[in-house]
A and B are shown apart, each in its own frame.
Chain A
Amino acid sequence: MSERDLVIRLRNVSKRFPKGDRRRSLLRTLLGRARGEQNSESTFAALNDIELDVASGDRVALIGNNGAGKSTLLRVVAGLHRPTSGSVQVKGEMTLLAGLGVGMVDELKVEHNIFLYGAMHGIAREDMRGHLDEILDWAELRDFRHATLKTLSTGMRSRLAFSVTRYFRSDIFLFDEALTAGDKDFREKCAEIFTGYARAGRTMLVASHDLKFVERHCTHALWLRRGCRIGFGPVAEVMSLYNPAEPK
């Protein structure tokens, strides 16, 4: 893999979180500063010396049990969490989908939520308007165009949000379980879209527990356990070693 192709490059990335609430009252903050107190609170390691190279067009699955560090890794790559140590380099526009429909507003109409969700991911209302009917059709919500979002079921909301994501034009997509939620029909529809992304050469990082999905759609897998990298490589190779029933 040449350096030129790399779009995500992590070197010795570690991330530690405090065990308690870090926010303090103003008085405690000022007193702490006045006494020259060092930050001595106990922490735990969510990621430990992670190395990762992702080339353009790679579809990398992040696998591991709950608490393995999958979501934290996605957030570090997305820039939402600053690594405690190590370096993160990312080339290109990114979209993080940590739950479908994050940012949609219950009180707004479905139509306006489409514009809002599109705007959050860099698509102007004018551009989104041209796709409105198609988005509603794909989500099977044509009759709900003027309904408020709160009247929709969870499944309907997921379909709506995912229908909008089909128009996101980022170079890199980070999915945190977003594609593997929902019922069988929804997952099938998502799989079609995911195949489309793959054909279009989009780079993806997908945190997932759905191993069938991983085997079908991903080119590589990164196996994490308690914040440590256990294995990384072609998906078939890593999956042959991976045992989700392993002790935590």
Chain B
Amino acid sequence: MQLMGRPYRNLVREMTWSQFAVRDQNSVLGLVWSFLHPAVMVGVLFAYFRANAGKDVKHYGIYLLFGMIHYTHFSNTTSGAMNCLHGMAQLTRHTVLPKEVLVISSVIAASMEFAVSIGFCVLLAWFSGIHLSFAVLALPLVLALQIVFALWVSFLLATIRVFVKDLNHIYQVFLRLLFFTTPIFYAAAFLRSPFAQRLLHFNLLAQLIGFSRSLVIGGTQFPVAFFLALWAFHGLALALAFLLFKYCESGFAEYV
């Protein structure tokens, strides 16, 4: 099944659809939950935090929401994809299909909610009086970059998870740390230590959140050159993570 050939794309599409469709299937509203969940999450967080926090941050509610949505997507997607080879053990052990399809479809299925949430957030920004410029049209590029980021991390985690059984627990601790060290509910200026500020430059999730906020809320100039450099970095990281995954693939059926 040639990479990116028709059967391959067809398989990714079917696997993505099936993962997306079975989510919340046991509930009365079925698929609607997939969209309702991020919508409710965004709505509640917006209403609550606008009234109570962020006095020093312009449009704090929207600022917070972009941070939460980016973080939630990254956290949910990578955690889900990390376990997908085990979660679909029958496929990992007993089928000849290219195993990266399981990771890719898991990431895409989880990213659908992300796209809807970001769209909803832009609408909220507009309703709340933020003047949206044409720069918003570049937002899909930021979303795509975040998905590429989540994808290469997912390839890496899914590979290591096969051989290291406690990675799940370790990663949950890492995600908790990431939440507090990323400017999600506070502004970057809140970190007064120069060391913490420097460290922030290496926080890839913080960069993406910053891009989204910059395009929608404004206030800071969008760093085009840096954005393109990040695309190159994530592209390279994706290629390397994918190669590692393929190198280890022949061991998956035995270990899972």
Give the interface of A toward B (CB within 8 A): 17, 21-27, 29, 75, 78-82, 94-96, 98-99, 102-103, 105, 107-108, 112, 115-116, 119-120, 122-125
Task: Collect the chain B residues with CB atoms within 8 Å of residue A119's CB.
Answer: 7, 10-11, 13-15
Is B29 interfacial (CB-CB < 8 Å)? no
Chain-A contact segment, one of B63-71, B87-95, B111-119, B140-148: B87-95
Task: Collect the chain B residues with CB atoms within 8 Å of residue A123's CB.
Answer: 7, 10
Q: How far is the CA of A119 from the CA of B102 in the complex (A)?
A: 13
Task: Collect the chain A residues with CB atoms within 8 Å of residue B95's CB.
Answer: 96, 98, 102-103, 120
A81 touches B254 (CB 8 A): yes
Is B172 interfacial (CB-CB < 8 Å)? no
A82 touches B94 (CB 8 A): no
Q: How far is the CA of A119 from the CA of B97 in the complex (A)?
A: 10
Given contacts A26-B164, A98-B94, A103-B95, contact A116 B255 (CB under 8 A): no
- CB closest residue in chain A, given B23: A107
- CB closest residue in chain A, given B22: A107
Is B167 interfacial (CB-CB < 8 Å)? yes
11 new A-B contacts at CB < 8 Å, known A81-B254, A120-B11: A23-B162, A23-B165, A23-B255, A26-B166, A99-B94, A102-B91, A102-B94, A103-B88, A107-B25, A116-B14, A122-B1
Select which of B15, B94, B165, B251 is within 8 A of A116 by beta carbon: B15
Q: How far is the CA of A208 from the CA of B13 in the complex (A)?
A: 34
Task: Collect the chain B residues with CB atoms within 8 Å of residue A108's CB.
Answer: 18, 21-22
Q: How far is the CA of A125 from the CA of B13 in the complex (A)?
A: 10
Residue of A17, A80, A123 most packed against chain B (CB within 10 A): A80
B253 touches A26 (CB 8 A): no
Residue of A27, A115, A120, A123 most packed against chain B (CB within 10 A): A120
- CB closest residue in chain B, given A98: B94
B94 touches A96 (CB 8 A): yes
B16-42, CB < 8 A from A: 17-18, 21-22, 25-26
Q: How far is the CA of A124 from the CA of B18 in the complex (A)?
A: 15
Q: How far is the CA of A131 from the CA of B13 in the complex (A)?
A: 19
Q: How far is the CA of A25 from the CA of B163 in the complex (A)?
A: 9
B165 touches A94 (CB 8 A): no
Task: Collect the chain A residues with CB atoms within 8 Å of residue B14's CB.
Answer: 115-116, 119-120, 125
Q: How far is the CA of A105 from the CA of B95 in the complex (A)?
A: 15
A26 touches B167 (CB 8 A): yes
